[in-house]
């Protein structure tokens, strides 16, 4: 039926209701078109054209803009509320982080303190051994001698060394 490459285009124009009377006439005369089928298509178009045009409310644009304004207002309010809510919602998290930081710092201080103490113990343990108890037998006499004024010692030394 569609041997002429133009026929599908004309049929499409008929389907969309845009075919001109001239195009319809050409199709009617065209040997490749089934006249009964064409008439049926045209009658269906006429039926579809009887549908009343839709009635659009005159204030549709205003209604849309009002709805948009209202929605924008609600969105702003929601954002403000969400801002506070998110702050409140985040507070426990922030508190947990702060506690964790404090615990870390505390542990670090304690750890440093322990290290210092351990080092001190090591130094003490490595120091020269303390003399035994026998070395302290004449401790008081030595102390006493040390407390004596130096000139006396010198006099004694001089007396001992004189012939």
Sign of the Cα torsion 27, 30, 32, 33 reads positive
Which residue among 22, 53, 131, 132 contacts another protein (CB under 8 A)?
53
Residue span 2-21 as binding mask against another protein, x where in contact by CB under 8 A, dash where not: ------x---x--xxxx---
Which residue among 32, 34, 44, 116 contacts another protein (CB under 8 A)?
44
Residue 1 makes contact with another protein by CB under 8 A: no
Instruction: Count other Cβ atoms within 10 Å, centred on residue 104.
Output: 10
- In sequence order, the 6+-apart residues with CB closer than 8 A to the CB of 30 are 4, 7
Report the distance separating Cα 4 and Cα 89, nearest Å. 72
| Cβ closest to another protein, residue 6 vs residue 120 | 6
The interface region with another protein, picked from 22-30, 40-48, 101-109, 151-159 by CB under 8 A, is 40-48
Interface of this chain with another protein, residues 68 to 97, rule: CB under 8 A: 68, 71
43-47 CB contacts, 8 Å cutoff, 24+ apart? 45/14, 45/17
Residue 40 makes contact with another protein by CB under 8 A: yes
**Exposed (0-12), middle (13-18) or buried (19+): which is 133, by Cβ within 10 Å?**
exposed
Write out the residues near another protein by the rule CB under 8 A. Answer: 8, 12, 15-18, 39-41, 43-44, 46-57, 60-61, 63-65, 67-68, 71
């Amino acid at each position: 039926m569609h041997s002429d490459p133009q026929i599908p285009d004309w049929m499409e124009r008929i389907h969309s209701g845009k075919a001109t009377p001239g195009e319809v006439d050409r199709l009617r005369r065209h040997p490749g078109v089934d006249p009964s089928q064409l008439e049926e298509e045209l009658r269906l178009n006429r039926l579809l054209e009887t549908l009343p045009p839709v009635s659009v409310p005159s204030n549709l644009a205003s209604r849309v803009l009002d709805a948009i304004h209202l929605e924008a207002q609600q969105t702003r309010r929601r954002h403000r509320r969400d801002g506070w809510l998110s702050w409140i919602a985040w507070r426990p998290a922030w508190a947990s982080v702060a506690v964790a930081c404090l615990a870390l710092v505390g542990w670090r201080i304690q750890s440093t303190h322990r290290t210092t103490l351990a080092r001190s113990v090591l130094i003490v343990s490595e120091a020269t051994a303390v003399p035994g108890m026998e070395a302290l037998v004449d401790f008081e006499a030595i102390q006493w001698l040390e407390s004596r004024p130096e000139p006396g010692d010198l006099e004694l030394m001089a007396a001992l060394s004189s012939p």
